[in-house]
Each structure stands twice: as C-alpha cells, then as structure tokens.
Chains A and B, each alone.
Chain A
Amino acid sequence: MFDDFFIRALVAGIGIAFVTGPLGCFVVWRRLSYFGDTLAHSALLGVTMAYTLDLNIAISVFLISSIIALLLIQLQKRTNLPGDALLGLLAHSSLAVGLVVIGFLTFIRFDIMGLLFGDILAVTTDDLLVIWTGGGLILIVLKLIWKPLLASTVNYELAEAEGLNPDRAKAIFTILMAAVIAISIKMVGLLLITGMLIIPAAMARNISDSPQKMVVFSIFGGLLSVILGLYSSLEFNTSSGPSIIAAALILFILSLFKIKQSIKLKN
C-alpha cells in the first residue's frame, strides 16, 4: 500500500506543516493573509524564470518573492495607495506577467494545474532535502526573531521604545515568508499555500489562550491535515493538495465547537 512516492509525499508534507504552523500564526496575527497570497501569486513568475534560465525552482521563487516583498515595502512608503490596493496590484500583475511569459515559452510544456494546486506526489528526494534543510533554517531564524516579532505584533511602539528593533524583525519575517513559499510551491501550489498558512492557525486560534499554545496547536493541525489529506487522496483518488486543505478545513470546523463549549462554560 505504501508506495515509495507516497512516503516521500508524507515526509514532504510533514516538513512543510512544521514551518507553515508558526509562520501561519504570525500571518493571522499581523493580518498578512493577503500579503502571503500576493507572494504566492508572484511565485508563478519565479517558476517561469526558473524554466527560462534553467535555475532551481525554489531559489528562483525565493528571489522573485523577496523582490516583490521589497517592492511592496517601497511602494507603501512612496505612494498614497492603501496597502490592500498595492497588494492586489502586485499579486495580479505578477500573475499576469508570469502567464504572458509562459505564452512565449512555447518550447516548454507547462503543467499549469500542477503549478496552481501543487503536485505533492511528484516530490523527489532532492525536494525533500530542500524542504527539510530550508524549513529547518526558517524555524531557527524565526526562533531568533520570536521576541521582537511577537512584541511588535502586540504593539510596535512598545517594542521600539524598549530596544527590540521591530523593523529588522519585520524585514526578516518578510524574507521568511518568501522562503516558505519557495520551498512549498511545488508541493502545495500557489493557490493553496495561503490556505496551508492560515487555516491551521485559524483553527489553533479557536482553542488556545496564549501565543505559544497557538503555535503548537497550529503545527499539530497542519500535521494532521497533511496526514489525513494524503491518506484520503489515496483512498478516494482525489488530488492531494486540495485534499490537505479540505482536511484542514474540517479541523477548523471542529475547532468551532470548542469555542461554543467554552462560551457555554462561561455562562
């Protein structure tokens, strides 16, 4: 029953869940879900660049996403447009440019569906290496910036006044977001990465009362979603990426009952 490719998919998914769990919490806390979406859309441009210049997909996506993130920060400083309008501008124009460039690359056959929704079952051993080393690095860096990032999430001025350098933490966090998208684009696809970041974290929010607990529950939620999603995709022959997200959604719905319970207990 356990074909080799399935084990690889499982190991890849588990690696991704360990990283999207804590990062997803910050995405929810800092209201960055649309920002994550924008980076994911720009990843398409990164993938086309990888094909054109024959680069590693993860590295190319990481570069393009980082550039888009820096561009966004600059645009926010220099224009009077609201943040969400700028995000929409960057998300859809980078997606459009990516698709136009694909049109020119007639010599390559693109699996657009695979790009949008990921193909976790096609994961190679090299991909596993990228996910686990990249993911490990992301978690180490996140641990190092945890205090300033959390403090500035609660209140920017408090963090700044008490010497925590929140601007630096924010810039590093932006790079980490680009990195997580880079390592997971091939597995989850650009339309589903944000789901993997947000849904387990949203589920965790419903059942936790402290930041640390929310991170732990978010990781567990992601792991459970990967395992449930992959097994059910094997069982029901559904596509794996969407099955993982659907499993995460079911966990989220279950977590809503916990809120109901705690409200009842209070009354």
Chain B
Amino acid sequence: MNSNNNILVKLNNAGFRQSKKWLVEGVSLTVEKGKIVTLIGPNGSGKSTTAKIALGIYKNIEGSVEKYTTKVGYVPQKISIDWTLPIRVYDFMLLTETIEDSAIDEALSLTGVIHLKNKNLGSLSGGEFQRVLIARAISKKPELLVLDEPVQGVDYTGEIALYELIKKISDTLNCGILLISHDLHMVMTATDHVVCLNGHVCCSGSPLDVAKNNEYKALFGEKASQILTTYEHKHDHVHSDQGEIKKN
C-alpha cells in the first residue's frame, strides 16, 4: 500500500457528516515527513474537522484515511479541561505517554514555560496554557504533529517565536506537520503545501500558487492575495533559526 515511505497520513476524498449536514467533504491531502501542510479557510470551512479526520477522532467518515504512524502529537483548537481534576503542568506533560524528565524540561524551555512546571494547570492564562499544549505535543517527539491554531492567545512576539519553533521542529525531528493557521505570513514563509478549504478543497498547491488562484481571491479578498504574492516578490532571502537573514 505504502509506495512512498515518507507518507505519514493520507486522506482520500475524505468527508464527515454530522446529523445529515456535511462539515467537510471530498478532501484529499498527504502529509509527508519533514513537510508542513497548512489548512486555511474561513470559519466553519471544515479545517478542524479535516484535522480530526486525519487524526482518526471521527470514525464514520466518507472516503478513507491511511495512517502510517502512531507517534502523534496533537494541539487541539478548543480544549475544555475540567478543573475538578487536580493536575499540574508536569502531570499534563505525561498524560498520554511516559517521557523522561529531561525531555519534559527541554520542551517546556523551548516554549518558554519551564517556570510553570509545578503550577496547577487551572491557574495558567490562555497564552501560557497554549504554550504548555505545544510543549506537550512536541515533547513526545512525534512523527506527525497536528496543530490546530496553536498560537491562539499568545502575545505577538511569542507568536513569531513559536512559529519559528514549529518550523525548526519540523526540520530537526523530520516530522510531518498538519497546521491550521490564520497567519498568512506564516503560511507563506514556512509551509510546503497549502490547502484552502471552504466545505471542500477550494484550491491547493504551493503557497504562491494558492495566492494566485482566483477561488482563493474570492474567498479571502484581493488584499489577502497581495499579502502572499508581494511577500513572495520581496522574498529574496531566507531566515536562519536564530532569525538572521541570509541572502539566497
């Protein structure tokens, strides 16, 4: 079945219906090792649903999902944690897998929340909690990382740093990332493949291709398209991990 060993998860014409209403349909996409695939689209376009199909959370789906890894890290968009459970950041890090203390410390340091290690999860702010969620997902060194708007609620400088971190993780761990993001700059700079959703796949391809696509323009407006294309024109350099600029 798996002709290409780099494939981590593959959706074939996948869709999901909830009480007779299609949340999303006809999605085909592939996430490969070391590649970042980004889902964009307006609210209610089925981005989170697509991620959940890829993760196997939704079971009665149309089409099919082929998953070639069990080492998965997930940062959900909405997480409601019941505070009747006393749980510290440290316990939360060990929730789905037993990992070494050094790996926990490393992940928490990378996302800048090591000082919160023994704090109760309920006492964190939204942004702090988001950083802990990312740390938890990367600490288990997954092969497939699914990030559903991972930087929501994070302050501006933190946002940039976290996106840089995500890019770095995909390189160092050589893991595939399925990312849902509203940040078009991020989509432009780091993503290998963009899938634009609106209940179905409206267009997909490299960031530049998508930006030029008329359906994309119709969905996001001319401005959004300019962000991507102008960005590409200016883009005669690459950023190193430390943020230094290197000429191409």
Q: Are B84 and A31 neighbours in the complex by a CB distance under 8 Å?
A: yes
Q: Is residue A113 contacting chain B, with contact meaning CB distance below 8 A?
A: no
A residues less than 8 Å from B57 (CB atoms): 157, 160-161
A208 touches B86 (CB 8 A): yes
**Most chain B Cβ neighbours within 10 Å, of A208, A210, A214:** A210
Residues 106-149 of chain B: 1 if any A CB is under 8 Å from the residue's CB, otherwise 0? 00000000000000100000000000000000001000001000
Q: Closest residue of chain A to B81, judged by CB? A: A154
6 additional A-B pairs beyond A150-B95, A154-B92, A210-B91, beta carbons within 8 Å, are A31-B84, A158-B79, A162-B72, A205-B86, A210-B87, A210-B88
Instruction: Count A interface residues, CB 8 Å.
Output: 25
Find residues 46-78 in chain A having any chain B CB closer than 8 Å to their own CB.
none
Check: A153 CB closer than 8 A to any chain B CB: yes
Residue of B nearest to A155 (CB): B79
Cross-interface CB contact of B86 among A151, A164, A213, cutoff 8 Å: A213
Q: A153-B85, A157-B52, A157-B57 are in contact. Are A162 and B97 (CB under 8 A)?
A: yes
6 CB-based A-B contacts, threshold 8 Å? A153-B85, A154-B87, A157-B52, A157-B57, A161-B52, A211-B91
B96 touches A29 (CB 8 A): no
Docked-complex contact A159 and B96, CB < 8 angstroms: yes
* B70-A163 in contact (CB<8A): yes
In the complex, per-residue mask of A123-150: 1 if CB is within 8 Å of any chain B CB, else 0: 0000000000000000000000001001
Interface status of B23 (Cβ within 8 A of chain A): no
The interface residues of chain A lying within 8 Å CB-to-CB of B140 are 162
Within the complex, what minimum Cβ distance (angstroms) separates B135 from chain A?
Answer: 14
A158 touches B95 (CB 8 A): yes
User: Quick check: B88 and A161 within 8 Å, CB to CB?
Assistant: no
Any A CB within 8 A of the CB of B155: no
Asked whether B82 is an interface residue with its Cβ less than 8 Å from the other chain, the reply is yes
Residue of B nearest to A147 (CB): B96
Q: Given A158-B74, A158-B96, A162-B97, are A29 and B79 neighbors across the interface (CB < 8 Å)?
A: no
Most buried by B among A153, A157, A158, A214: A158
Task: Tell me if A111 is interfacial: C-beta within 8 Å of chain B.
Answer: no
Docked complex Cα distance between A149 and B56 (Å): 18
Q: Does B74 contact A154, Cβ atoms closer than 8 Å?
A: no
Q: Are B84 and A29 in contact (CB under 8 A)?
A: yes
Is A28 an interface residue when CB atoms closer than 8 A count as contact? Answer: yes
Residue B55 at the chain A interface, CB threshold 8 Å: yes
